[in-house]
Amino acid sequence: MSQPVLKIENLHVAIEGKEIVKGFDLEIHGGEIHAIMGPNGTGKSTLASALMGHPKYEITEGKVTFLGQDLLEMEVDERARAGMFLAMQYPSEIAGVTNSDFLRTAINARRGEGNEIPLMKFIKKLDEKMALLDMGEEFATRYLNEGFSGGEKKRNEILQLMMLEPKLAILDEIDSGLDIDALKVVAKGVNAMRSPEFSCLIITHYQRLLNYITPDKVHVMMQGRIVKSGGPELAERLEAEGYDGLKKELGIEEEEGTVEQEA
């Protein structure tokens, strides 16, 4: 088999001295879509933020390679330039920067000086992707995420994904708060990206997005590590039984002091 796009070995991540991710292993190859499902508070967003290099998250143990490179040695912007994309559970607003400016800057940052995308080519690509995502033209000139509804923010993240064409996208709860139409649009965008050059890690609490994006592998994360892996049928089982059935089967006890928070 070819070199994995992402390889995580025995990853441990702590926040403010408290260990949240506790021995996480995962290997994603080119063209694969993996889903990580798990109860709230289990460390899914912590994993995503740590992979993107958020300074608050301390890697205490383990190894991560991205296309063979030591990811943990790379700065945040290097990770993005190397082709990693993170859609956050709570996208931030950037006042005074239009969507279109943001996208062009991001694309050019990745392409490097002297290799900027020609303006007409950029506009054509933007129009194409926005049409596919059923986004009105005004989205291009609006300020990034300012006054966007939850659904609009998520749709906009998928627009960024399609414009930037990363090698690996990590989508953290991209489905949270979406109505069914927005959910379908998000799925359409991700499905349109499917190619041997694109890999995707979908993090979600619920199965419903996976009705529209069929993952190659599904992993269940509990208490900071993967406790079970399988195919799409695993997600269906969780939908039917909830997480409690699996906890019982695997003999996983509730952790003391774990507060279930609403997504």
SS3 206: coil
Binding ligand ADP by CB under 6 A: which of 5, 7, 33, 45? 45
The runs of H, that is alpha helices, within the chain are 44-52, 76-81, 99-111, 119-132, 138-141, 150-164, 180-193, 232-250
Q: What are phi and psi of 147, to 5 degrees?
A: 70, 10
Tell me how far, at minimum, the Cβ of 120 lies from Mg ion, in Å. 39
* Residue 42 vs 156, nearer CB to ligand ADP: 42
SS3 124: helix
Binding map of Mg ion across residues 22-51, x = CB under 5 A, - = no contact: ----------------------xx------
SS3 198: strand
Q: Please choose, out of 35-43, 77-85, 132-140, 176-184, the segment that lies near ligand ADP by the rule CB under 6 A.
A: 35-43
Report if residue 30 touches ligand ADP, rule: CB under 6 A: no
Tell me, letter by letter, the H, E, C secondary structure of 32-98: CEEEEECCCCCCHHHHHHHHHCCCCEEEEEEEEEECCEEHHHCCHHHHHHCCEEEECCCCCCCCCCE
Report if residue 53 touches ligand ADP, rule: CB under 6 A: no
* Residue 10 vs 258, nearer CB to ligand ADP: 258
* Residue 163 vs 235, nearer CB to ligand ADP: 235
CA distance 258 to 244: 15
Tell me how far, at minimum, the Cβ of 40 lies from ligand ADP, in Å. 4
Are the C-beta atoms of 160 and 91 separated by less than 8 Å? no
Tell me how far, at minimum, the Cβ of 174 lies from ligand ADP, in Å. 13
Partner whose binding site includes residue 46, from Mg ion, ligand ADP, none (CB under 5 to 8 Å by kind): ligand ADP
Residues within the interface to ligand ADP (CB under 6 A): 15-16, 20, 38, 40-46, 56
